[in-house]
Amino acid sequence: MTTQLTFAEEFRYDDAPVGITLPVTLRYGEKSLRSQAKVDTGAEVCLFRHEHAAALGLQLEQGMPIVLAGLGGSIEAFGHEIILQTGDIAFQSIVYFAKHPGLTRNLLGRQGWLRNLKLAVIDACFI
């Protein structure tokens, strides 16, 4: 069975060895923050830096608590409902913010991002 997909938007990403990085905008109330995040189809949720929650004015620990397990150990985080935007596509989403400062990268995971999109990745090497 063949499936035909059409897309309203195309984004070309850098062919970097550290993965696919996309520009993102996080909005909460009247505050907005531009950043970057890695596409991580293996990540359960979207995870952003502690510092981003502070910049958006979120009361971090009033969010939904979660403990995420990864290769580097566990990370405590808190979920908040915000507007998440990549490219021209924006939607309301629950994303998580690390409890402690110093997270080295933001992640776009399945819940909160990937499940809100129909996504095709075409590696630049094959274009």
Per residue of the chain (127 residues), give pLDDT as tens. Answer: 787 877 777 777 776 777 889 999 999 999 999 999 999 988 999 999 999 999 999 999 999 999 999 777 899 999 999 999 998 889 999 999 999 999 999 999 999 988 887 766 666 555 4
Domain extent for 59: 21-126
Does 35 map to a domain?
yes
Q: Give me the helices (H) in 42-94, please.
A: 50-56
| CB under 8 A, 24+ apart: contacts of 17-22 | 20/121, 22/86, 22/87, 22/108
**Is 3 part of any domain?**
no
- Integer distance in angstroms from the first to the last C-alpha of the chain? 24
CATH number of the domain at 68, please.
2.40.70.10
Q: What is the pTM of this model?
A: 0.87
Total domain count, the chain? 1
Has residue 6 been placed in a domain? no
What is the reported pLDDT for 119?
67
Give helix then strand counts, H and E, for the chain.
Answer: 1, 7
Residue type, 65: P
- Residue 52 placed within a domain: yes
> Which residues contact residue 60 at a Cβ distance below 8 angstroms, ignoring those fewer than 6 apart?
50, 53, 54, 78, 80, 97, 99
In a domain, 74, yes or no: yes
In a domain, 85, yes or no: yes
Measured in whole angstroms, the distance separating CA 39 from the mean position of its chain's CA atoms is 7
Q: Is 12 exposed, middle or buried (0-12, 13-18, 19+ CB in 10 A)?
A: exposed
Residue 86 in domain: yes
In a domain, 111, yes or no: yes
